[in-house]
Structure 1
């Protein structure tokens, strides 16, 4: 079996922060560079803020995440603030120029109450005119249809102190309205199951998403269908949103 620390290390292998290779990371890096203070909501293992500090960012950087094992990994970097909590626990005080949610973390806000509380907290954490930048998968692309064992990924990852060959995949369990429940499984190459977790994501369309943001006091400054700032179209797989606190 994999420990929580192993799972956190595995995440960094599967989702490395690399603006040179990943268009999404490059998009967010542009925003990070120009912001004096940054709140990373759902920071995970902290790779984005760690990179920002290494690249010379001198402002306040705060990462927020409910996963203790991921934060333990993030805390290897002591000159960034790391706080255990959900989006609804974002620190109030209108202190941040920028709030970011990467890796489709916004979709983890599933219930209406959770969405409302989280958006209110992010709004309260931003200064007037501050930006909230995030992405969510466009439901029209039906990304969950690709989440099945036939799309398993073989990797080598550090587990219990040494590199180990692993196989990982996602498999959908249910689709109810705009909510998708799925399982993530990691095995040895021989099929021995080492770890399984279940996740629930919400796929809001553009109209529903924008209504939630407006209700929380945000103005939509821009929305894109890809990481190159292309327009939203009938083929877009992403809804990349730049919202501004009113």
Structure 2
């Protein structure tokens, strides 16, 4: 059995926080380092906030995530506040200068009610004029078409075991893509399979939901800061301000 803890460790192996290599990581790191109080919504294993502390951030850092195994890894650093829960249930009142959802976590807010409740709670957590930054995959790039077993990734874990991670799309319904991630051993034995859904919102749709939630879009970029959103890009980086 491939445990939740093993899955969290595998996530870190496949997705290390690395601003030197990944423009989106650099985008969020710069924002975090310039803010005194930061809320990381969907913090996962805590890579972004760990890195901020390593760079010398001296303010308040809070990570929020519903996954106990991911939070167990995040808690390897005790100089960050780690909170179990989902965005919609957050009850902070104007305590943060910046809220972030990195690594496309925003796309996990699939239903209209969940999205509206989450944005309302994030807005409530921000001080007047506070900023909310997040990234999403641009639906025009149709990234899900590459989520096939033939595009599987292989990695060697800390024990020396070879693991294969593959994806298969089950359904595309409107702007929601449902898929299965399968983790297999080197000999092909399936160790774990998880089904997930992600919502792909384009620029107009993002502007609409943010406006309804009391945010104003301050800036939007393509695959990296300063680059405009374009059909050739794969990502949308958004900074919205509480109004």
TM-score of the superposition, structure 1-length normalised? 0.97
Q: Which residue of 1 aligns with 2:186?
A: 189
Partner of residue 105, structure 1: 105
- Paired residue secondary structure (1:228): coil
Cα displacement (A) at 1:178? 0.6
CA RMSD, 1 decimal: 0.9
**Matched-pair contact (CA < 8 Å) for 2:225–2:237:** no
1:172 aligns with 2:169: yes
Once the 2 structures are TM-superposed, how far is the Cα of residue 122 of structure 1 from its aligned partner?
A: 0.3
1:41-120 aligned at under 5 Å gives the runs 41-120=41-120
Runs (5+) with no aligned partner, structure 1: none
> CA separation in 2, counterparts of 1:56 and 1:62?
15
Cα distance in structure 2, aligned partners of 1:76 and 1:91 = 25
Structure 1 residue 90: Cα displacement: 2.6
Give the deviation of 1:227 after TM superposition.
1.3
1:71 to partner: Cα distance: 0.3
Residue number in structure 1 paired with 2:124: 124
Corresponding residue of 1:156: 156
Q: Distance between the aligned counterparts of 2:182 and 2:7, measured in 1?
A: 11
Corresponding residue for residue 219 of structure 1? 216
Q: TM-score scaled by structure 2?
A: 0.98
SS of the counterpart of 1:58?
Answer: coil
Q: Once superposed, which parts of structure 1, at least 4 consecutive aligned residues long, lie more than 3 Å away?
A: none
Matched residues in 2 for 1:2 and 1:239: separation?
A: 33
Counterpart-to-counterpart distance in 1, 2:229 and 2:4: 38
Structure 2 equivalent of residue 209 of structure 1: 206
Aligned length: 243
